[in-house]
């Protein structure tokens, strides 16, 4: 591991952060079932450690005092506690379905009902938008109002 990798870290020991998505047990949290909710999005915790996973991913250990849990989080799952927090309906890596045809210059790229995956949540404005990856290798910026939740049973 390159010790300079830590220079790329955004948060430091003791810093307060907010988690931007629900954190569920992936099987590494003892005493709970896989899939159980560990920490709800919007919860605030303190950085207790900065480490790496697979030698190239920075992982922050965050102590969520109200939940009584210490959980590993990636940078894209965290915001500084003072950064604007606008709760969203969908989260990073969540599957979504279009409520309407998505088009550019009148050309429908993804018809109503198309399924995509959220790559990024854009919370800077009151109207939340998402970078959504669709089949065919295309990523579009889509407003929250144009998306519905996707359930695997919907197939």
Write out pLDDT tens, residues 39-48. Answer: 988 999 999 9
- Which of 149, 108, 152 is closest to 140 using CA atoms? 108
Ranges in the chain, pLDDT < 70: 1-9, 152-155
What distance in Å separates the CA atoms of residue 16 and residue 96, rounded to the nearest whole number? 30
What distance in Å separates the CA atoms of residue 65 and residue 81, rounded to the nearest whole number? 14
Q: What is the pTM of this model?
A: 0.59
- Please tell us whether the domain made up of 3-80 is placed in CATH 2.30.30.50: yes
Matching fold, domains 3-80 and 95-154: yes
Q: Which CATH number fits domain 95-154: 2.60.120.20, 3.10.20.30, 2.30.30.40, 2.40.50.140?
A: 2.30.30.40
């Amino acid at each position: 591991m390159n010790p300079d990798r830590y220079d790329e870290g955004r948060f430091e020991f003791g810093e307060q952060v907010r988690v931007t998505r629900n954190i569920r047990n992936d099987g590494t949290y003892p005493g709970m079932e896989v899939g159980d909710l560990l920490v709800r999005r919007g919860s605030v915790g303190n950085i207790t450690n900065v480490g790496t996973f697979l030698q190239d991913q920075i992982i922050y250990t965050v102590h969520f005092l109200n939940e009584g849990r210490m959980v590993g989080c990636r940078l894209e799952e965290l915001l500084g506690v003072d950064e604007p927090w606008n709760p969203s309906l969908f989260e990073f890596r969540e599957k979504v379905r279009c409520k309407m045809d998505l088009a550019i210059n009148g050309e429908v790229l993804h018809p109503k009902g198309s399924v995509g995956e959220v790559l990024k949540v854009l919370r800077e404005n009151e109207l939340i938008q998402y970078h959504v990856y669709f089949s065919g290798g295309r990523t579009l910026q889509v407003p929250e109002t144009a998306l519905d939740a996707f359930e695997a049973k919907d197939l």
